[in-house]
Amino acid sequence: MLFRTVTIDDVPALAALMSRAFDARYGEGWNGSQLLGTLAMPGTRSELALIDAAPAGFTLTRNTGEDCELLLIAVDPDRGGQGIGTELLRRSTEFAKHSGIRRMFLEVRSGNTGALRLYERRGFVCVGQRKDYYVGENHLRFDAITMALSF
């Protein structure tokens, strides 16, 4: 597995990866325009995991002062169970820590037990909940759990 910084040229491949990684019924995934707009913002960092030169997963974070937010983490579902998400999360938290960040935050859909376990194993704890944070198919709404990791 290789890692590199995401470039603008990667956006179409990442949008395609997100459409496979995030079930549309929950409203968690972003489209290419949202990704492109966020990548242009100051303090944003995105890292891509590659296996055999193909995108296997990525993270998107944004630093604001001493805080960092994990905006997205996506793994190709055909590559699930290979530790890609774990390694991407580890790399993001370590980069943040060594960049002087004091806390990292994220939102995760309530009921997404796999993601919750991943974050808890890395040391994230629940610090709040956002009602109706995600809007999925047919306008169904899902709560998000806000988690934080202090360095």
**Catalytically annotated residues:** 107, 119
Burial code (b: 16+ CB inside 10 Å, e: under 16) for 66-82 equals: eebbbbbbbbbeebeeb
The burial class, CB within 10 Å (0-12 / 13-18 / 19+), for 134 is buried
